[in-house]
Structure 1
């Protein structure tokens, strides 16, 4: 633990950022005055949580932020709670709904100059898929990612992506969607249209209507 804290402190003191190279094992041993085994165990633990990126043959680098560990943990706990009548996943869906209800309002606050043309393109793709009989998970996810991208907050994309990954990994337990593809597309269109019009109340209502289908799907397995 002491070696782990030493490596993290070194990164901060030197002003290193994600992607920057780290000193070698030997240099870290000398700098932190610890054994090679201690350094290796520390680096292994820091790699597991994304603070250190070890690329064999290239060296060690400051890791880029990832929520992969969070996704694995949430998926695991959601899966085991489904077995005893609880529904951890429903709580995650509620958090995401609250998050997106706030995000659409913040997006509208940016004003009409916001470029939503990428969202228009993915919306057209979604409606085309709906006509063919199935809205793909990739298109659904892309809609939400592109919609909030003008906010300029990379954490938004990562958090929404983490929630989506958990939901998608539990798709077998969730069963088939209740909503017809046309309804899925229409609910997304309602969100997009409300944001374009700058109608905050309509946008929040559209987000809640969208998540109604998700809530119904999780309720079936919650007990």
Structure 2
């Protein structure tokens, strides 16, 4: 990792050959291969068979995989574990929405309105809308210009979705109500009402918590 940093290599850049790494680092071939294997698991390096080894995409996929396994591994406590993940995600979003509420631009409000309309159309047609829901939450914080935010939100979203599917908790009993709560968030943002935006977001998360708990009791 230090070699990648020292040489200023970016995602997609080729790494030195095994022989060069052995010489540069003063280690054996086996040590180089074990290191590359570990870095590949962390998405820091990518092996393209027949081409070579490259700096990876540096995604947070390993974090999502680890959290998913952690949640599913304790089958008796997976509701609590999933609740902890939701709690962390809510804390993150609550802080973020306070930052954007007063300054969110009109184009982002328009994009949020469009996302809610798509959610509403699918809800009324009896279709699930997880992609539109995810798009909504990513659009909320777009104006911050923080590239880590959508990646972190994506981690929490992926973990929740994967665990919910395995446990059968991904059914929304009140999709129209879910649309209404998203619309309330947009309404508060349009008024640049920071407190109401945070409260609307909190009401949305309380409903998700309740849905998981009820589904778990029926299991």
Residue 22 of structure 1 aligns to a residue whose secondary structure is coil
Residue 141 of structure 1 is matched in structure 2 by 134
Residue 196 of structure 1 is matched in structure 2 by 190
Q: CA deviation at 1:115?
A: 3.4
Matched, 1:16 2:9: yes
Unaligned runs of 5+ in 2: none
Unaligned runs of 5+ in 1: 1-7
Distance in 2, Cα, partners of 1:130 & 1:111? 27
Q: Structure 1 stretch 100-109 or stretch 206-215: which is displaced more?
A: 100-109
Match of 1:61 among 54, 63, 67: 54
Q: CA deviation at 1:210?
A: 0.5
Match of 2:124 among 128, 131, 135: 131
1:75–1:166 Cα contact (<8 Å) kept? yes
Distance in 1, Cα, partners of 2:7 & 2:80? 45
Deviations 1:29-81 (A, max 9, x none): 11112121211111111111111111222322222222211112211221133
2:102–2:193 Cα contact (<8 Å) kept? no
Residue 118 of structure 1 is matched in structure 2 by 111
Residue 164 of structure 2 is matched in structure 1 by 171
Residue 81 of structure 1 is matched in structure 2 by 74
Residue 170 of structure 1 aligns to a residue whose secondary structure is helix
Residue 90 of structure 1 is matched in structure 2 by 83
Distance in 1, Cα, partners of 2:52 & 2:95? 41
Deviations 1:87-118 (A, max 9, x none): 11101111111111111111124354563332
CA RMSD across the alignment? 2.1
Residue 3 of structure 1 is matched in structure 2 by none
Matched, 1:100 2:93: yes
Distance in 1, Cα, partners of 2:97 & 2:207? 19
Change in CA separation of 1:215 and 1:62 when aligned onto 2, cut-off 3 Å: same
Residue 21 of structure 1 aligns to a residue whose secondary structure is coil
Change in CA separation of 1:85 and 1:113 when aligned onto 2, cut-off 3 Å: closer
Normalising by the residue count of structure 2, what TM-score does the alignment of the two structures yield? 0.90
Residue 183 of structure 1 is matched in structure 2 by 177
2:102–2:189 Cα contact (<8 Å) kept? no
Residue 28 of structure 2 is matched in structure 1 by 35
